[in-house]
Structure 1
Amino acid sequence: MSEFSLGQRWLSETETDLGLGVVTAVDGRQVSVMFPSTGETRMYAKSDAPLARFVLNEGQEATHADQWRFIVTEAKEHQGLAIYFGERIDSGEDVMVPESQLAHQIDTNPALTRFIAGQADRHDLYLLRMQGLKQLARWQQSPVAGLLGARVNLLPHQCYVASTVANRYHPRVMLADEVGLGKTIEAGMIIKRQHVTGRSQRILIAVPDSLRHQWLVEMKRRFALDFSVFDEARIREAQLDSDNPFSTEQLVIINNKILHDEQWHEALMGAEFDMLVVDEAHHLNDNTPGYEHFAQLAKAIPGLLLLTATPEQEGNEGHFKRLQLLDPDRFNDFNAFEEEQTHYRELADKANDLSGEALDELLDEHGTGRVMFRNRRQNVGGFPARHFHPVKLPEPEDDMREPWWLGDPRLTWLTDHIKSNRDDKTLLICHSAKMVNELAEALRVIEGINAAVFHEGMSLLERDRAAEFFADDDNGSPILLCSEIGSEGRNFQFVHQLVLFDLPENPDLLEQRIGRLDRIGQTHDIQIYLPYTEDSDEGILLPWYHTMNAFEQCNPVGRRMYDEFAQPIKKSLLSCQPLPKDLLEQSAVLHQQLMSEVEAGRDKLQELNACRPQQAESVISAIEETSDTEHLNEFMTTFWGRFGVDTEELDETRTFVKPSEHMRVEAIPGLNEDGMTVTFDRTTALNYEDAEFLSWDHPHVQEALDIVTQQDFGSVCVTKLNNKALPEGAWFMEVDFSAHINAPTSAVAQEFFPLQNHRILLDGQGRELTSKVPRDALTKQADFMDKKTSRQILKQLRDVTKSHLEKARESADAWLVEHAACVRKQLTDSLGKELQRLTKLKQRNPSVRESEIEALQARQRTLLEALEQPQLSLFAVRILVNHH
């Protein structure tokens, strides 16, 4: 019964919590499966659908849609569908149940089947199963699940922003930290937590073409997230499998031009993404063709992250329009928005006198505080010093020579610089790809230097090869020549020498150039060189940049300075005349004034709101505690040993793991066929990029937890008990039930109701001893029993243990009713408190969206409904027989 037929029941191998699915459509290469218990539908390619056919076997217990249970005595097939004959457990009457009438939520851990069939596993597998259950439940309810495995240093500002945003339903925020503070890392941490908790399952990342591959690699390397890059060719290929090409993958990266493209607009609107992430968002403006398509999509997708280091690069009005994308209802009047800005100075003064909850309340009320996070470098700290070296050169003797570089003194200086700094890599940035190519040719012809080049005209593969050629210490290029756009978004913090071959007119662009090197993680001071001649554009612009001290320190007001002086600067450049002295004096005064405003006013509130140190430290502490690498190492090492994965210790912190021919399962997702180097240590992971950083978040670890808790390994076990105080042959039955509730994944039910475990211990006479004898006390006295003896004991005790099991089930049912009531109260209190806070806050801060409150109310309703019918499953049975 491997072919798909309408009405068949299938389980999702990757989302077992969806319950039992029913095939609703079989069309060409695709099959549609609806999961009634959550109301969700999935479409799969028939050839590689992650589905398992749900077929009951003789002796197995099952549940009818009307919630009565029966034991299967015979299974038949009719036109591709299964029909089960059996006996009702409550009444003993004979029944016939077509598979279409099975309960939507089934017991995916068929421990009872194995128990009745007399099948038992080794004691160590049982212990691994129980350990997996404990760790999975702990991870599910952790407030930092999804933040554990980021291959990053745990920096307070990043952890604070990631935690704050990722905990929201449908977050819509701008990540606007200054250059070098790690916005991509913050976005990755948010995406990971949103994804693994189920808040956002379908995620679309839109980036400039030059950054697509970098984002793909970063998401995989730092966060173990497998995105797919969709270019035009991939989109057309996906159209062969689906009416909507964007529905064929859950995690997608596209060139941001596709956001504006009319031919893909309808498909993007219909793809039902949960979150849209846009990098380099300062390029978005309503003058761009197709901008309206993007604005519609941004409104339609519930979650939206806009990333930009220069939010006001297009002026205050451009900044307002990007805020409008996040919340058009809140930001609907530009004049009113500008008026608001004038009141922030008094609020900033007030903030100086507050602390604790009072400060939290004020920052909550701050206009853009909930939608925009902007950390400043001087507050974060840990950055290198910048040293500026202007190199004034003589004017060229003949500026008419062809090619131009034959008479350019900058080239002579550059070749000398490369020769005298061969042990240090140099990054050169200039304005255009044309200049990059001409410089590369000049260095090759004059000095035989094979320079790496990097510009927007190159393919992604060519750029990656150039970056690798540059990074190679032994045989690589001593210099990388970059264009303005080609360098955007790339990090080269292993370099500390920067050559500016020309100067941009806009100070924000200068800051972006320097920010390629001046980033968190840079271990050296940065040496910035500007070779120039007095009459060149650079000679004209240099005094103006000196009025802002723009080379030696970050310049947060560069755009506003450019807006003020752009016209006279352009005039001087066109006439090749020095900037007037009074302009330079005005520039110095205005820069000081603007910097004072930044210190005194609105930006200070934003900084306070972008990283609250106390909360940030508590997030980091929670990550370190939940990471629990000691137990993780122990669990995974045991798992590999029990499931036939070969391991080889490489050193104290790294292990090589590889599938063997003797594995208990065919394949383990997340474990490479050719093997992989793994580490549980964050520092090692940062030093060895080829090592997988394993955490409780990692797909391979999650798969291991899933195998030991959702499949039946270790679910039945018989073991010897060595206790001389007990009579020979005395026996005990330890039963564990697991409980969960069925709700749509997006409701994140596990945070209130993680996989629960309820233990019941009975002696041979059926007396309950649970509270008197802890599990660990029995485990310490337990010993190995061979499979043959185990089967004999199970067969011998079958009737009495079946009776014990029914008694244990009644006890567990009563516990579940009580437990669900406790969770209901906790859930009502917790979500009720948050609803009250947001409702109260909305009266004072309109940036609290009504949709945010409605989403919280819907989550509360959904979870309360699910709690009306909690599910109980037999998880494990351990029989302990005393033998001296």
Structure 2
Amino acid sequence: MSDFSPGQRWISDGEAELGLGTVLNCDTRSVTILFSASQETRTYNTRQAPLTRVMFGSGDRVLSADGWHMVVDDSKASDGLITYIGEDSQGNPRELPETKLADTMQFDQARDRLLTGQVDRNDWFDLRFRTLHHFQRIEQHSALGFSGPRIDLIPHQLYIADEVAHRHAPRVLLADEVGLGKTIEAGLILHRLLLTGRAERALILVPDSLTHQWLVELLRRFSLNVSLLDETQSQAHGSDNPFESAQLVLASQGWLFANPQRQEQALASQFDMLIVDEAHHLDWNEAGSGPGYRCVEQLAAVIPGLLLLTATPEQMGINSHFARLRLLDPERYHDLERFKAEESHYTEVASAIDALAALPGDPDARARVSAVADDRDSQALLATLCNSEASKAQQDTARAQLSEALLDRHGTGRVMFRNSRRHVGGFPERRLHLAPLALPPAYRRIVRRLERDDDYLDELLIETGMDHPDVLIYPDAAYRELSDDPLNSEPWWHIDPRVNWLLEKLSDDGDSGFANDKVLVIAHHRETAEGLAEGLRVLGGYHAPVFHEDLSLIERDRAAAAFADDEDGAQVLVCSEIGSEGRNFQFCRHLVMFDMPQHPDQLEQRIGRLDRIGQLNAIELHIPTFEGSPGQRLLRWYHEGMDAFSAPHGVGSELFEAFGDALADALLDDETLDEIIAETRTMFSAKLAEHDAGRNRLLELNACRPARAQQVIDAVRELDEDPALPRYIERALDVFGVDSQEIGKGLIHLKPSQHMLDGLPGLVKGEEGYTATLSRAQALARDDVQRLSWEHPLIREMMGRVLDGTMGNSALALLRHDAIPGGRLMAELVFRTHCPAPKKLHLNRFLPPTAVRVLLDESGANLTSKISFTGLGKNLQKVNKSLARDLIKSRHDQLRQLLTQGEGEAERQLPSIVENAEAQMRAHLDAELARLTALAEHNPAVRGTEIDALKNERQALSEAIENTRLRLDSVRVIITVDADR
């Protein structure tokens, strides 16, 4: 006779997602089941139906079709149907026929799946437990967010990222010199904030020319998928707000700054973080501000976090620098004169920090320190340092703590980080190669007339429409503008000796030639770059891509890619001035400056395209210059007045502000120029000494604290070398159906198998997959190789799928052991802490989902401490699902009892988990709160909102931890069998 009766409730073993089914009709051969929730009907053979009868027992919670819940106490059967007896949520006695159970009931919890016979593979259960263990460990690790990115472990970058990412809604200026990795620092900060939940949405605004570079960099280095938004894509969203279309939005500054409607949409989009690259282009003065500055100012007022990136924080002087700081904290930086006065105090603080090295023996040093160590704690540390009875270890500790305190309380590191090449070290030599050339007749006529006729300059400015001193510095541009002159009938590149000089260098395979090397050429004007590329093609047969401001983003990227290609790429790339901003060409060592920029910071931007961290060769700077020309005089000012070609000095803006106008007037007068160069050199030396003693010295000390940077590096290396990672990856790939093949040199190739589970990042069925490595060095050496880490999207996705889904949350296995008789039952229960809290609290650093394992035998004895998870797993054997369902059905009552007992055993461990998490949280936040509160008394850069936010965070975390509960995460039933079977 059939076990089926109309009205009974069953679930499909192979299609549990169909929900709760109802028997419509049945006979001796077949049964038809209606799954109302999914509107599906199935007909099965009664002898082989992959179905499990749904039967609830005492303590189970069920849902009626009318929407009310009942906790089952008992049940009764009549005509093959069950009626459940229990109480509803109000405590009222109720009865619920199984025909009235809700069709939408899902059996995804471990208890429900087990008791309804839905069991997974044993290796799935094993992976689930290990995933929970590793997730708990990694979420609490101090290197979370820093170990995954494809970066070198460079101290100053990791220090800044760690310092900034720990703050509530960080608002800072990243102002490292060109080539020191501001983009990497911003990416690290963003990556950590995203992984910890402190930020979920970010808006990144960059110059038009850098949008694709940022897009690629964030994807390649940080595995962050960013949506590039422009007007075309915005219009495709119709009336919807395009900024709501993605969590991470990248947009060009030029597009957004010129579009008030899009600005309003961005303001309404509730971003957590705003990142602005090349922020020195934002125009502000006390009288007013430009559209770009106003846009960023409005966004910064509503977006909690703000990162401003600029290699030249004082490019346009102290006023420009103050303007950036106003964006970070308008309440703190509201008075320009007061800000200037504060800057003057930095020399005294820097002198005191340097004087610490001379203590305790130098009375003068003690006086310098005491003058700024004006609070009780600092004076106590100073007293310890100068105490003759204190041990050397005590004095060293006091010296280190006092240095930290002075930097914290008087330094500028709360809002600005600036590392210099001198401070970081390890940069290659810069070599200057000057190539004096004779002025061609067409250029010489103009220069000679300018030297003889004082009025001709005014005539030339009117005739060419150019500005002064451009008309003097760029003779090819003046030649082009005078094209109506019969003497100027040929293209400028036909008559310009610099073009032939470059062609000779490109073909020269000697020590001074470029024949076997890449060459970057930068000229000031777009027209010059285009003409030069044409001249190289016509006169020498060289294909030289051109990179300038009028190209589309795709065209710029195509030009840069053609230059970067080692095998078939172009030998030379010609850029206009825009090519000197943002782009990284460190694979190249030869830079040709076809002409001179007018501003020292533009000169440094040019050199910084090659002179970057990671550059392995000396930088060869080649400058063709016309003898006796204004351009050569400008070069002399750079070279002799401020040593601009040897290294960045950070004082060019101040020198240009002081001498720029006089320099422009002296470009035709060697005698006056000599005087200006001498005055420039004097001021250069004085300013360098002043900055080194004051603000720059403080920034240098504060921008990278070596001991803390090393701690971050050690933590990252600990995760890099984690022996558990390769073992976990192997297990996870096997469970998810990904084939992995070792191909030598630490590389593996990942390829989807026919049985791969869908939705894994980078892996699509039918495609070839990709090559990966666990080695950071391998991944850095090869862009085509992905680096697997605990933070890689594939690993994060697999862990998330395991922990957030049902995979492996119920299983059954056989245990064959000589010492254990057959027929015994054990239940291995894994509970997980559950603590709902907003992501922004980053609760997981103190209390991530934590596993509590309980192993019970059939008598209820707790064997957890006697039999480890790994030890037990080694002796388990798999069992087919149909036998597993039969075994579970035969032990229902016993299993229910063990599940209930296991909850009690686990609950006894919860108080210690909660207490430990609370202690960790308070130890961390109380110390940080005390530090910030004391710091705020001396350093106005500490925002009151930051302290209030930390207090609120501590309170919210305490409440969340207190409300932690345990829930059953997974359960494995273990049946013993005789060893000889």
Same fold (TM over 0.5): yes
Mapping for residues 14-25 of structure 1, pairs under 5 Å: none
Displacement of 1:259 in angstroms is 4.1
Distance 2:674 2:414 in 1: 43
Of the candidates 290, 293, 296, which is equivalent to residue 294 of structure 1? 296
- Comparing 792-801 with 398-407, greater Cα deviation is found at 398-407
Displacement of 1:410 in angstroms is 0.9
Displacement of 1:122 in angstroms is 2.7
After superposition, the Cα gap between the structure-2 partners of 1:208 and 1:92, relative to the gap in structure 1 and judged at 3 Å, is same
Paired position in structure 2 for 1:276: 274
Of the candidates 387, 404, 408, which is equivalent to residue 431 of structure 2? 387
Query: Once the two structures are aligned, what percentage of the paired residues are identical?
Result: 42
Of the candidates 417, 420, 424, which is equivalent to residue 376 of structure 1? 420
Displacement of 1:59 in angstroms is 5.0
SS of aligned partner of 1:145: coil
Contact 1:536 1:576 in 2 (8 A): no
Contact 1:629 1:680 in 2 (8 A): no
Distance 2:800 2:213 in 1: 31
SS of aligned partner of 2:865: coil
Partner amino acid, structure 2, of 1:369: G
After superposition, the Cα gap between the structure-2 partners of 1:847 and 1:475, relative to the gap in structure 1 and judged at 3 Å, is same
Paired position in structure 2 for 1:409: 497
Displacement of 1:509 in angstroms is 0.8
The answer for unaligned runs of 5 or more in structure 2 is 1-51, 75-83, 91-95, 357-398, 444-486, 509-513
Displacement of 1:521 in angstroms is 0.9
Counterpart check, 1:825 vs 2:825: no
- Comparing 87-96 with 315-324, greater Cα deviation is found at 87-96
Paired position in structure 2 for 1:174: 173
1:822-879 per-residue CA deviation (whole Å, 9 max, x = no partner) reads 3233323322221121111111111011111122122222222223432422112122
Distance 2:548 2:497 in 1: 24
Paired position in structure 2 for 1:440: 533
Distance 1:174 1:60 in 2: 63
- Comparing 666-675 with 591-600, greater Cα deviation is found at 666-675
SS of aligned partner of 2:579: coil
Paired position in structure 2 for 1:34: none
The answer for unaligned runs of 5 or more in structure 1 is 1-56, 63-67, 77-81
Of the candidates 657, 663, 670, which is equivalent to residue 750 of structure 2? 657
After superposition, the Cα gap between the structure-2 partners of 1:535 and 1:159, relative to the gap in structure 1 and judged at 3 Å, is same
Paired position in structure 2 for 1:72: 62
1:526-564 per-residue CA deviation (whole Å, 9 max, x = no partner) reads 111100112323211122112222112222211111111
Distance 1:807 1:185 in 2: 52
Of the candidates 884, 887, 891, which is equivalent to residue 797 of structure 1? 891
1:164-192 per-residue CA deviation (whole Å, 9 max, x = no partner) reads 11111100000000111000001000010
Counterpart check, 1:876 vs 2:970: yes
Distance 1:566 1:613 in 2: 39
Distance 1:111 1:559 in 2: 67
Mapping for residues 412-561 of structure 1, pairs under 5 Å: 412-420=500-508, 421-547=514-640, 548-561=642-655
Paired position in structure 2 for 1:93: 86
Distance 2:181 2:294 in 1: 30
- Comparing 858-867 with 111-120, greater Cα deviation is found at 858-867
1:489-521 per-residue CA deviation (whole Å, 9 max, x = no partner) reads 001011001100011121111111001001111
Displacement of 1:379 in angstroms is 1.4
Contact 2:171 2:306 in 1 (8 A): yes
Mapping for residues 19-418 of structure 1, pairs under 5 Å: 59=54, 70-72=60-62, 76=65, 83=67, 87-88=71-72, 93=86, 95=88, 110-240=109-239, 242=240, 244-257=241-254, 258-259=256-257, 261-286=259-284, 287-289=289-291, 291-354=293-356, 355-399=399-443, 400-401=487-488, 402-418=490-506
Distance 1:60 1:553 in 2: 79
Displacement of 1:217 in angstroms is 0.5
Distance 1:829 1:61 in 2: 46
1:559-578 per-residue CA deviation (whole Å, 9 max, x = no partner) reads 111111101111123x4756
Partner amino acid, structure 2, of 1:331: Y
Distance 1:224 1:679 in 2: 15
1:375-421 per-residue CA deviation (whole Å, 9 max, x = no partner) reads 11111112111100011011213334321222211111011111112
Distance 2:955 2:53 in 1: 39
Contact 1:387 1:527 in 2 (8 A): yes
After superposition, the Cα gap between the structure-2 partners of 1:108 and 1:689, relative to the gap in structure 1 and judged at 3 Å, is farther
SS of aligned partner of 1:527: strand
Distance 1:628 1:799 in 2: 47
In the alignment of these two chains, the number of paired residues is 807
Partner amino acid, structure 1, of 2:62: V
Distance 1:73 1:345 in 2: 73
Distance 1:426 1:376 in 2: 26
- Comparing 216-225 with 399-408, greater Cα deviation is found at 399-408
TM-score (normalised: structure 2): 0.79
Of the candidates 820, 835, 838, which is equivalent to residue 741 of structure 1? 835
Displacement of 1:73 in angstroms is 6.8
Distance 2:328 2:63 in 1: 59
Contact 2:56 2:72 in 1 (8 A): no
Displacement of 1:85 in angstroms is 6.3
Contact 1:58 1:72 in 2 (8 A): no
Contact 1:208 1:280 in 2 (8 A): yes
Distance 2:671 2:273 in 1: 50
Mapping for residues 735-884 of structure 1, pairs under 5 Å: 735-883=829-977, 884=979
After superposition, the Cα gap between the structure-2 partners of 1:576 and 1:83, relative to the gap in structure 1 and judged at 3 Å, is farther
Distance 2:259 2:644 in 1: 38
Contact 1:425 1:478 in 2 (8 A): yes
Distance 1:701 1:727 in 2: 40
Contact 2:411 2:699 in 1 (8 A): no
Contact 2:271 2:303 in 1 (8 A): yes
Of the candidates 786, 789, 792, which is equivalent to residue 698 of structure 1? 792
SS of aligned partner of 2:198: coil
- Comparing 351-360 with 487-496, greater Cα deviation is found at 351-360
- Comparing 215-224 with 257-266, greater Cα deviation is found at 257-266
Contact 1:109 1:710 in 2 (8 A): no
Distance 2:415 2:682 in 1: 32
Of the candidates 656, 660, 665, which is equivalent to residue 571 of structure 1? 665
Distance 1:111 1:415 in 2: 74
Displacement of 1:630 in angstroms is 3.3
TM-score (normalised: structure 1): 0.87
Displacement of 1:96 in angstroms is 9.0
- Comparing 342-351 with 161-170, greater Cα deviation is found at 342-351
SS of aligned partner of 2:330: coil
SS of aligned partner of 2:969: strand
Distance 1:835 1:313 in 2: 36
After superposition, the Cα gap between the structure-2 partners of 1:200 and 1:89, relative to the gap in structure 1 and judged at 3 Å, is farther
Distance 2:566 2:629 in 1: 35
Counterpart check, 1:636 vs 2:723: no
- Comparing 615-624 with 351-360, greater Cα deviation is found at 351-360
Contact 1:669 1:699 in 2 (8 A): yes
Distance 1:113 1:556 in 2: 67
Paired position in structure 2 for 1:7: none
Distance 1:109 1:605 in 2: 58
